[in-house]
Structures are given as C-alpha cells and as structure tokens.
C-alpha cells in the first residue's frame, strides 16, 4: 500500500497518531500512575514520539523515492530563511515571553522569575544536557509528523487548515496528559480553567505561526527549532497566570495577523489573475 500525500492520508495519519498516543497514555491515566512511574515514562516516550515516528513511516510507505529524499533533506535544512526569518525563529518567543512578564509586573507587582535561568548559567554542563533533552523530547519527537508529513498533506488547503487546524489537533493530542499527575498539562488543570484555556489558545496560535514559518521556508528544521525555542523559553522563564494570559493574547494576535496576511495575499493574487484573463 502506498501513502501518497493528500488530504485523506493526512487524516489517516492524525487518526493513527492520536489513537496510538491516547491508547498508550490511557494506561497510566486509568491506573492513576504519576509522571515519575516507570510505566508512565515508557508510555510518554513511545506516545510522545509518535507524531515523528508515524510520520516517517507514512513517508516511507509513500513509495516515492524523490519525496523520501526531499523529506530527509528538509529535516536538516532550514530552507528559505533570511535574516528576518532567523529573528522570528530565535527571538520572537523569548521577546514575547519577557515582555509579557514585565507587563504582568505592572498589574501584579510580581517580578519575572529568572531563578532557573540563573541556576543553569552557573552550571554549563547541566545547561547543555537540558538543551539536548528539550530539543529531542518535543521538537524532534513531534515536528517530523505535525509540520513534516501532515503539513505536506494539507499545505494546499489554506492556513486555517495547515496552521490552526494542525494546532487544534496538536492540542487534542495532548489531552490524556492532563490526567496524569505530575505532568505539565496536569499542573495546568490543577490550577483551574484559565491555564488550560491559555494552553489551548497558545497551542492553536503557535500552530499557525509554526505552520506558516515551515510552509514559507520549506524546511522542517525551522519547525523543530521554533518548537524548541517555545519549550526552552517556557522552562527557563515560568510565568504567572497574568503573564501567561498576556502572552497568549500576543501569540493569538500574531497568528491572526498571519491569517489575515495569508488570505489578503491570496485575494490579491486571485484578483490579479482574474484581471489578466
């Protein structure tokens, strides 16, 4: 059986990925095992890496040697990214995060928390290990599927599909993690509806941003690096709820701007083509 790139194959990829991840993570969730349990960690490892693993399997099953070669090259190549692209990749999330923390301080008087950053700067070996862990578990484990194979399948469907659509699926994929004690998502749930809402809206907005970056650059590595920047910044700069709300609004505004720009550009192109016929 050959899995060529198309809308239905993307839907099949999503179905297989979610069922596999949910099936694995339902075990610790239903047994009441916490995040430190060995069974939970095995389930997290196998389930958390499922987007990239299943994505690679679907690429191989395509039977298209040229597509397979191109896909593998795009994992290690940034694609068409100029200086503005590098700024977006590495500075957008830290800038929005720091700005949100300082704006929040105006309302709450709570200063930004730089304790984790300070600790890692004093121990370079731990920082290097942390960078490696953050790059592998999350960005590399997921993006070969989400912004690799799936975006390839849906990139012609418009930014609401390859951006917000994949972002929503990305959010739903995390669902079992909310019910495993000790996980990041469970800690959000324990603090009420607002952090969960921030996570949901931010993930969808980031889906738009990463999707647009990946589509424009053509390189899957760009998605990996941006996802890494999100996770790395989040770990080093924990935010108060007010700061998280501000950051969520900022990401949402940026995503909406990208959506508007996308459809405005398409409308202009269509009008131009219409006028030349």
Given a contact cutoff of 8 angstroms between Cβ atoms, the answer to whether 268 and 128 are in contact is no
pLDDT computed for residue 83 by the predictor:
81
From residue 47, alpha-carbon distances to 43, 119, 170, 178 in Å are: 6, 31, 13, 14
pLDDT bucket at 47, cuts 50 / 70 / 90: very high
**Each residue's pLDDT tens digit, 118-155:** 999 899 999 999 999 999 999 999 999 999 999 999 99
Domain assignment present for residue 36? The answer is yes
DSSP labels, 255-275: HHHHHHHHHHHHHHHHHHHHH
Q: Is pLDDT of 164 > 50?
A: yes
Domain assignment present for residue 184? The answer is yes
**Each residue's pLDDT tens digit, 27-39:** 999 999 999 999 9
Average model confidence (pLDDT) across the chain: 92
Domain assignment present for residue 2? The answer is no
pLDDT bucket at 277, cuts 50 / 70 / 90: very low
pLDDT computed for residue 269 by the predictor:
59
pLDDT bucket at 275, cuts 50 / 70 / 90: very low
Q: Is pLDDT of 265 > 80?
A: no
Domain assignment present for residue 270? The answer is yes
pLDDT computed for residue 20 by the predictor:
98
How close are the terminal C-alpha atoms of the chain, in Å? 42
**Each residue's pLDDT tens digit, 75-113:** 999 888 888 888 889 999 999 999 999 999 999 998 999
Which structural domain, as residue segments, surrounds residue 88? 7-275
Given a contact cutoff of 8 angstroms between Cβ atoms, the answer to whether 195 and 240 are in contact is no
DSSP labels, 56-91: HHHHHHT--HHHHHHHHHHHH--BS--HHHHHHHHH
Lowest mean pLDDT among 118-122, 156-160, 164-168, 245-249: 118-122
**Each residue's pLDDT tens digit, 220-237:** 999 999 999 999 999 999
**Each residue's pLDDT tens digit, 182-209:** 999 999 999 999 999 999 999 999 999 9
Query: What total number of domains does the chain contain?
Result: 1
- What is the spatial distance between Cα 60 and Cα 4, in angstroms, rounded to a whole number? 10
Single out the residue of 150, 271, 267, 165 nearest to residue 208, CA to CA: 165
Domain assignment present for residue 1? The answer is no
pLDDT computed for residue 276 by the predictor:
38
Write down the pTM of the prediction.
0.92
Q: Which two tokens stand for residue 59?
A: 């690429």
Instruction: Name beta bridge partners: 34.
Output: none
pLDDT bucket at 263, cuts 50 / 70 / 90: confident
């Amino acid at each position: 059986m050959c899995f060529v790139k198309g809308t239905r194959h993307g839907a099949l990829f999503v179905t297989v990925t979610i069922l596999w991840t949910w099936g694995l993570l339902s075990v610790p969730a239903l047994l009441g095992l916490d995040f430190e349990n060995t069974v939970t960690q095995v389930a997290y490892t196998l389930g958390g890496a499922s987007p990239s693993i299943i994505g690679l399997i679907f690429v191989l099953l395509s039977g298209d040697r040229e597509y397979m070669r191109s896909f593998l090259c795009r994992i290690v190549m940034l694609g068409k990214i100029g200086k503005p692209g590098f700024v977006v990749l590495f500075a957008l999330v830290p800038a929005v995060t720091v700005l949100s923390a300082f704006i929040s301080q105006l309302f709450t008087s709570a200063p930004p928390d730089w304790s984790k950053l300070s600790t890692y700067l004093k121990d370079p070996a731990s920082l290097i290990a942390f960078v490696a862990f953050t790059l592998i578990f999350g960005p590399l484990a997921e993006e070969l599927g989400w912004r690799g194979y799936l975006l390839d399948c849906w990139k012609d469907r418009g930014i609401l599909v390859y951006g917000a659509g994949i972002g929503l699926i990305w959010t739903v994929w995390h669902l079992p993690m909310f019910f495993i004690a000790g996980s990041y998502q469970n800690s959000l749930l324990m603090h009420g509806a607002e952090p969960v809402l921030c996570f949901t809206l931010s993930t969808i907005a980031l889906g738009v941003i990463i999707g647009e970056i990946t589509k424009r650059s053509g390189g899957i590595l760009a998605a990996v690096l941006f996802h890494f920047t999100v996770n790395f910044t989040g770990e080093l700069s924990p935010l108060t709820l007010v700061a998280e709300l501000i950051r969520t609004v900022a990401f949402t505004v940026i995503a909406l701007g990208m959506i508007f720009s996308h459809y405005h550009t398409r409308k202009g192109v269509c009008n131009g083509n219409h006028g030349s016929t």
